[in-house]
Structure 1
């Protein structure tokens, strides 16, 4: 009898819970669908929405298939597309007019950037408000042209080291471009922006850092597509949350070792400055890490703040430049007539001299500049960026409510035929001054735009021009991997599934 009563009560409790949950879901759906916000979103085109789950299930794909699916949205639904579930909503935009509106009016970054907070803290990439303004103002000094001029010698030295690595690969039928360029870019960043002497083996450091980046991307991207993992508390108790902590510990160990090494060097006077350098540095012209350490002494930033910015610039400075250089070499190898123009430009600047490139030489490389820009059009290292819509705005004729996440699809923007005729072709001449006059200011966003544009874009361009010019002067690149061979997957950067290969052929002296 007691067991019977107990079972009866348990069944009734379960029924009450089930009915309560059902009523909660129905009320939630009705509120989300018929509130002002829900009615506005119902007017925006997008994949078909189901009750409660919306259309987020359409995006729950393997990362390579997701990249392919995202490429179909603009062609299918137009320039403003809605996605989401319940009250978690997003729009996707592709038109330069709409992009201009968002970037100029909406400077705040929240989700999904906040998913990176355990790793990057409140570094320049994801901070907002006065903290972002103070950090941006401080770090701008580290990318002043006078500082970049000092780096030119390091760029040239590392280009020679890169040439030695290429020489070892020249006998092969094909060389893995990514493997060659990755350690060069990481070494340049450490020796310039971070000011370190690179005591750790560069091959080991590059491998550890890249593996950790790949791991954390694999853990965080599924979170964007799972409403249950949106909350920090549910993500942290999930398997991915536990694994994330392990990977972040590895990443922080790398950046902390770089900071520690630089502080030790400064403390023991290993970095000896001339009187001219001291006067120069008093004007605030310091390498980024040195600048942060100086401000720590003045109480303007703490040790954790330094780590935030080192993590941010290691991440953004290394991976973006590495993938761009790989695509650039592939495109040069696949377009011999363009490669010949580049070589002619190098001959006009250097003649038969083998001297390293100076900062003034880099300014003269106009056609190489166009080639890099066209590479970034075809293969933007950051194929999408996000902004938070903090006030109600109109995009493409649709009212977008505040509190909406906005995804700007740079990859698709750069391939619009109305902006770039024959968009799949590699045509550097698109970026000659006379061909850019009538182009929309927000039609080309490889370094984002507005107040939150990439602070290190000049650094990246000078670095890539130094390495590429050194390569073209000594080697002819022959095609192995073609553009049609590339398959991408959703990641922090535009990353191909397979390595990119070229063949290096020494030029006759």
Structure 2
């Protein structure tokens, strides 16, 4: 692990007034993960998630108990694989926009930061698939402020997390950082309110009824996440604030984590010509010289690209650590951890365990070929967490990343600018670097 990230995690561990897992207990770490993540007894979250609550309130990521169970059950229906298949056309549409913009603006430049354009197009994917909104011009005016506010909020949240004196709201709200966070939240909620009101207006103007089909970009599809929430509002099972907190959660989790994952993956592929050639060969086998749009069947054929995505997420998990709050005594690594303790699970560390992943710092996608991973316990690879509280959108994220990378690799050859050894991480809600990640794009035409 990079020294700066280790120091950042160590600071949080020392300052967090709860128990954490010791790295000296690493020989039993896998069993600890299984015990904590697989059980319905240990689904509660507290620190450090509470520092996200001023923005996300008690949405799916932060809620606990019966509220979480009901929301999870409701929202899971919107991510059934049969519904995800209908989203592929949206993925293709936005990935083509992304690639065309790069072709017009970035070809031949010495270096390109893909993150801003990735964030915008991936957010449009979320607008269309989760919220049913396909007209983005009215929202574009607030999205630049939104992106800046996301970064600013994450900075203020992590700043507070490492300073216990700022834990009480009454103190934090009086500080300059607290005032900045309130300003950020106003900007973040502005986009959320507009999304909800625009969808309500669309439903009202088009006389949509419960479970009615409608069209996204000319394709028949079923109710979105937002539609399900609006139905429950009519039935009195959820109020406006509940809808807002879920829209906030999906707007953030549905695009920013994916943009971060794409960025690291593109950087890794650019730095490994062997891997890049193998990805391109796979694309040629599937498409030949055809420019046809891809299908769900094509995505299922991209076995090597999927291995590359998994290996990049191993090295660069978008969320490098997760936590569980235990309400009963539990034995971990032979020691009794008392009730009311907060336990941090360091995904970044776990994915670099030498005994699980030989040469852990190397980018070796072949680790995830079926014959090489069959004996590896599934809880040794958890970029989307695991168990009852795993990421609800992980299948969607994989399909989306395959779609974007397929189009990118067929159109461009990537050359390295930022090297893996250049990366310096900073303490953040997600795995972010102190400087932008750059690549150079060359046309394959």
TM more than 0.5: yes
> 1:207 deviation in Å?
2.2
Find out whether 1:331 has 2:260 as its counterpart: no
Find out whether 1:144 has 2:80 as its counterpart: yes
Contact 1:143/1:459 (8 A) holds in 2: yes
Partner residue, 1:122: 58
Structure 1: gaps of 5 or more residues = 1-63, 74-80, 279-283
| Bigger radius of gyration | 1
Change (3 A) 1:285 1:391: farther
Partner residue, 1:97: 31
Q: Deviations over 1:176-225 (max 9, x none)?
A: 12123111111111121111123336764442122111111221212222
Partner residue, 2:100: 164
Contact 1:83/1:90 (8 A) holds in 2: no
Find out whether 1:362 has 2:299 as its counterpart: yes
Partner residue, 2:218: none
Find out whether 1:340 has 2:277 as its counterpart: yes
Partner residue, 1:78: none
Looking at structure 1, the residues matched to 190 and 386 of structure 2 have their Cα atoms a distance apart, in angstroms, of: 32
Partner residue, 1:256: 193
User: Which has the higher mean CA deviation after the structures are superposed, 94-103 or 437-446?
Assistant: 94-103
User: Which has the higher mean CA deviation after the structures are superposed, 140-149 or 98-107?
Assistant: 98-107
User: TM-score, length-normalised on structure 1?
Assistant: 0.80
Change (3 A) 1:249 1:70: closer
- Find 1:350's aligned residue among 278, 287, 301: 287
User: Which has the higher mean CA deviation after the structures are superposed, 331-340 or 170-179?
Assistant: 170-179
Partner residue, 1:69: 7
Partner residue, 1:131: 67
> 1:350 deviation in Å?
1.1
Contact 2:110/2:440 (8 A) holds in 1: yes
Partner residue, 1:294: 231
Partner residue, 1:34: none
- Counterpart mapping for 1:424-503 below 5 A: 424-503=361-440
- Counterpart mapping for 1:405-420 below 5 A: 405-420=342-357
Contact 1:174/1:480 (8 A) holds in 2: yes
Looking at structure 1, the residues matched to 375 and 276 of structure 2 have their Cα atoms a distance apart, in angstroms, of: 27
**Number of equivalences:** 431
Partner residue, 1:373: 310
> 1:440 deviation in Å?
2.1
Q: Deviations over 1:66-115 (max 9, x none)?
A: 62415779xxxxxxx97457xx2231456222222222341101122122
Contact 1:71/1:412 (8 A) holds in 2: no
Looking at structure 1, the residues matched to 86 and 409 of structure 2 have their Cα atoms a distance apart, in angstroms, of: 23
Looking at structure 2, the residues matched to 265 and 502 of structure 1 have their Cα atoms a distance apart, in angstroms, of: 40
Partner residue, 2:180: 243
User: Which has the higher mean CA deviation after the structures are superposed, 290-299 or 377-386?
Assistant: 290-299
SS state at 1:90 partner: coil
Measured on the aligned residues, the alpha-carbon RMSD in Å equals 2.4
Contact 1:194/1:290 (8 A) holds in 2: yes
Looking at structure 1, the residues matched to 391 and 367 of structure 2 have their Cα atoms a distance apart, in angstroms, of: 22
Looking at structure 2, the residues matched to 205 and 363 of structure 1 have their Cα atoms a distance apart, in angstroms, of: 36
> 1:435 deviation in Å?
1.2
Partner residue, 1:214: 151
Q: Deviations over 1:37-77 (max 9, x none)?
A: xxxxxxxxxxxxxxxxxxxxxxxxxxx9862415779xxxx
Contact 1:83/1:91 (8 A) holds in 2: no
> 1:232 deviation in Å?
2.8
Looking at structure 2, the residues matched to 91 and 112 of structure 1 have their Cα atoms a distance apart, in angstroms, of: 12
> 1:453 deviation in Å?
0.2
> 1:274 deviation in Å?
12
Looking at structure 2, the residues matched to 385 and 286 of structure 1 have their Cα atoms a distance apart, in angstroms, of: 31
Looking at structure 1, the residues matched to 139 and 411 of structure 2 have their Cα atoms a distance apart, in angstroms, of: 24
Contact 1:82/1:92 (8 A) holds in 2: no
Looking at structure 2, the residues matched to 341 and 194 of structure 1 have their Cα atoms a distance apart, in angstroms, of: 36
SS state at 2:19 partner: strand
Looking at structure 1, the residues matched to 255 and 192 of structure 2 have their Cα atoms a distance apart, in angstroms, of: 13
Partner residue, 2:320: 383
